Amino acid sequence: MAHPLGREASRADRHMGPRTGIALGAAISISALSAAVAVSAAAVAPAHSARFTFSGSLRGTLHGDPCGGTPTLGGQFEFDASTLKGSKADTWTVNVNIGTAKAGTYKNIRPNSVGVAPASVVLLGQTASKEYDWLSTSGPITTTKTAGSVNVTLGPDRTFSGVPGKGIVHISGSWNCPADS
């Protein structure tokens, strides 16, 4: 029996007709293509990411994959060489602080009588010579084992060593930081 590819038929080929061989070849090609698409999709979607949008006295968006910290406890997200309208700062850090290692939604983010909040967001903007600081005053912070989100209002922070930030800032955003980040 002649082989469809022009070579001599093997014993296995004699039990498999030309249609079966073509169908098997097509199935293998489709499987390989599916695996290649899955690998490509995984390469495009970042394993970790953070995106924060600002309005009020600061405007703009900071995004990237600057994961740092333990997601359940919040995290520290640093954005170098990034700008927001309303400030000369070119380096930004968003610190999300959760006082306990418990995932959940924290709505009480105001400091108590000794200045400690169960959860907070601190925004630091830096230039070559100054650091500007804002601290959360209201809004929820939500964390899970690997991700979280904020939708908070920030005011000038007079408790840090830097210069209090100017004006009221609203920040909304989220992060996804798997445990291996």
**98 burial type by CB count under 10 A (0-12 exposed, 13-18 middle, 19+ buried):** buried
Domain ranges for the chain, please list them: 11-44, 49-176
For residue 18, give the 3-state DSSP assignment.
Answer: helix
The per-residue pLDDT for range 7-29, each reduced to its tens digit, is 454 444 444 455 444 444 444 44
Lowest mean pLDDT among 18-22, 136-140, 153-157: 18-22
Q: How far is 62 from 22, CA to CA, in rounded Å?
A: 52
Structure tokens belonging to residue 57? 């006295």
Give the pLDDT score at 59.
97
The pLDDT-based confidence of 47 (bands split at 50, 70, 90) is: low
Structure tokens belonging to residue 80? 């170098």
Q: Is residue 54 scored above 90 in pLDDT?
A: yes
**How do strand 104-106 and strand 60-64 relate by DSSP bridges?**
unpaired
Q: Is residue 68 scored above 90 in pLDDT?
A: no
* pTM as predicted: 0.69
**How do strand 119-126 and strand 49-56 relate by DSSP bridges?**
unpaired
Main-chain phi, psi angles of 6, to 5 degrees: 85, 5
The pLDDT-based confidence of 151 (bands split at 50, 70, 90) is: very high
The pLDDT-based confidence of 2 (bands split at 50, 70, 90) is: low
The answer for residues whose C-beta is within 8 angstroms of residue 107's C-beta and 6 or more apart is 139, 140
